[in-house]
């Protein structure tokens, strides 16, 4: 028994076991969709690579073609399982003008057929070379394919002979409008081809996130949607390996309780250098200091010209003089607050104040006051815009 266990250990023990890129416990043992012979081969490959501690991306784009193929097929399957769920009937079955942004190959072929036939026959109709019988057939055809009227305006169909190919490739492009000018726009992709098209751009950009992949695709293709790219990136084994999806943490991990007004003041600075304005004394004010009472949420704002201890201390002193001293003085770890000077000053004016600083680069310790800062910024922007609209100085 123990010998057996030891044999299986090297496969299972590393956290980033290449056998479970999707992190589904059920599929740990053997890859299911592949036939039996392939599975055993893959198992061997996995074990040998696992001992050399190669990471998944290396394996994916490494030298081993069978493994590349395997992950690509898994990725492809996962993508198609999720990308086009609301799949219904084909255009021909339903007989409707279809609005799905990405159509199946079959539907696209149907569109190509209708548009091509319509265009060529319409040309003969115009120059009068159609026989009466053919003319009748053409009218019948138009009646049965009413959607073709729209498709003719939407789609531009080209036949291209690619170098090395014997058959012509059909490229469907969408007619697009820019500055009221109609032009032959981006390429239309079928559902079946969408995986490969996204894959090109996703790999080219070095597995950047969904957004830049989408932007790249969007330049070239008309109908690759954000949802499709998101599905693609969510199922990409390399991306999963690189940035595993973690449930987001919300708020401070240890909740801070305050029982009374002035139990705890949280202090932070907002950078307003972009919107710097002089105050009544003519001194340009670059920063806004927010002081929030943690219990009531009451927030006071002060403008200060520079991020310096003197200014912060001066405004704080004025404020404390007005409302009284807090029990705990909570700041982030920025220079201006940790500065000895300020702490000294606070200790001097009231030795009973406890000073607390959040950990460096951990804004969530400051969650409460950071939240207020967002609100402050938004409100200030609103007020500024309002005053500008009224033709006043927005200070
Ligand atoms: Zn990726």
pLDDT confidence of residue 173? 92
Phi, psi of 29 (to 5 degrees): -65, -65
How remote is the CA of residue 106 from the centroid of ligand 1, in Å? Answer: 29
How remote is the CA of residue 195 from the centroid of ligand 1, in Å? Answer: 12
Nearest to 277 by CA among 394, 387, 391, 385: 394
* C-alpha torsion 138→139→141→146, nearest 10: 140
How remote is the CA of residue 239 from the centroid of ligand 1, in Å? Answer: 4
CA dist., res. 28 & res. 138, Å (int):
59
pLDDT confidence of residue 301? 84
Residues 98 and 235 in one domain: yes
Query: Per-residue pLDDT for the chain (395 aa), expressed as one digit of tens each?
Result: 444 444 444 444 444 444 444 444 443 444 444 444 444 444 344 433 443 444 554 555 556 677 778 888 888 999 888 887 665 556 666 555 555 567 888 888 988 999 999 988 988 888 888 888 888 899 999 998 888 888 888 899 988 888 887 888 889 999 888 888 999 999 999 888 999 999 888 887 778 888 889 998 999 999 888 888 988 988 888 787 766 555 555 555 566 677 788 888 888 777 888 777 788 888 888 888 888 888 888 888 888 888 877 888 888 888 888 888 888 877 765 665 556 677 777 777 777 777 776 655 555 556 666 777 777 776 666 665 565 555 555 44
Residues 228 and 315 in one domain: no
pLDDT confidence of residue 6? 43
How remote is the CA of residue 81 from the centroid of ligand 1, in Å? Answer: 17
Residues 156 and 206 in one domain: yes
How remote is the CA of residue 36 from the centroid of ligand 1, in Å? Answer: 28
> What are the E-state strand segments in the chain?
155-160, 169-178, 181-187, 264-271, 277-278, 284-285, 287-293, 299-304, 328-331, 354-357
How remote is the CA of residue 80 from the centroid of ligand 1, in Å? Answer: 16
pLDDT confidence of residue 299? 83
> Which range of residues forms the domain containing residue 348?
264-389
Structure tokens of 392?
A: 């006043």
pLDDT confidence of residue 145? 87
pLDDT confidence of residue 2? 40
Residues 141 and 274 in one domain: no
Residues 169 and 61 in one domain: no
How many independent structural domains does the chain possess? 3
pLDDT confidence of residue 347? 77
Beta bridge partners of 48: none
C-beta of residue 338 within 8 angstroms of C-beta of residue 331 = yes
Q: What is the CATH number of the domain that holds 361?
A: 3.30.420.10
Question: Got the DSSP string for 85-103?
Answer: TT----HHHH-S----SS-
How remote is the CA of residue 376 from the centroid of ligand 1, in Å? Answer: 38
Chain position carrying tokens 């001097």: 348
């Amino acid at each position: 028994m123990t010998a057996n266990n030891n044999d299986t250990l090297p496969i299972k023990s590393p956290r980033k076991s290449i056998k479970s890129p999707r992190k589904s416990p059920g599929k740990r043992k053997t890859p299911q969709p592949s036939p039996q012979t392939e599975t055993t081969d893959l198992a061997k490959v996995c074990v040998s690579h696992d001992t050399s501690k190669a990471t998944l991306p290396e394996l994916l784009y490494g030298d081993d073609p069978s493994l590349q193929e395997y992950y690509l097929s898994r990725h492809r399957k996962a993508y198609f399982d999720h990308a086009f769920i609301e799949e219904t009937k084909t255009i021909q079955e339903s007989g409707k003008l279809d609005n799905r942004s990405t159509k199946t190959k079959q539907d696209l072929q149907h569109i190509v057929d209708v548009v091509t036939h319509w265009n060529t026959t319409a040309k003969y109709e115009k120059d009068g070379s159609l026989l009466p019988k053919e003319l009748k057939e053409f009218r019948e055809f138009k009646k049965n394919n009413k959607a073709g009227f729209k498709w003719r305006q939407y789609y531009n169909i080209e036949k291209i002979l690619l170098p090395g190919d014997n058959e012509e490739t059909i490229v469907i492009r969408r007619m697009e409008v820019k500055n009221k000018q109609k032009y032959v726009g981006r390429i239309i992709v079928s559902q079946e081809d969408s995986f490969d098209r996204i894959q090109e751009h996703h790999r080219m950009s070095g597995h950047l996130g969904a957004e830049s992949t989408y932007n790249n695709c969007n330049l070239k293709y008309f109908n690759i949607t954000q949802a499709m790219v998101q599905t693609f990136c969510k199922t990409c084994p390399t991306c999963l390996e690189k940035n595993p999806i973690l449930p987001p943490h919300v708020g401070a991990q240890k909740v801070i309780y305050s029982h009374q007004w002035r139990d705890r003041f949280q202090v932070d600075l907002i950078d307003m250098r972009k919107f710097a304005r002089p105050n009544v004394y003519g001194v340009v004010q670059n920063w806004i200091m927010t002081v929030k009472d943690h219990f009531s949420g009451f927030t006071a704002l002060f403008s200060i010209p520079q991020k310096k201890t003197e200014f912060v201390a001066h405004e704080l002193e004025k404020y404390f003089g007005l409302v009284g001293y807090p029990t705990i003085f909570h700041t982030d770890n920025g220079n201006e607050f940790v500065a000895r000077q300020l702490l000294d000053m606070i200790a001097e004016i009231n030795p009973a104040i406890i000073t607390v600083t959040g950990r460096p680069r951990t804004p969530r310790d400051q969650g409460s006051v950071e939240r207020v800062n967002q609100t402050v910024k938004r409100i200030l922007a609103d007020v500024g815009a309002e005053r500008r609209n009224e033709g006043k100085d927005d200070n």
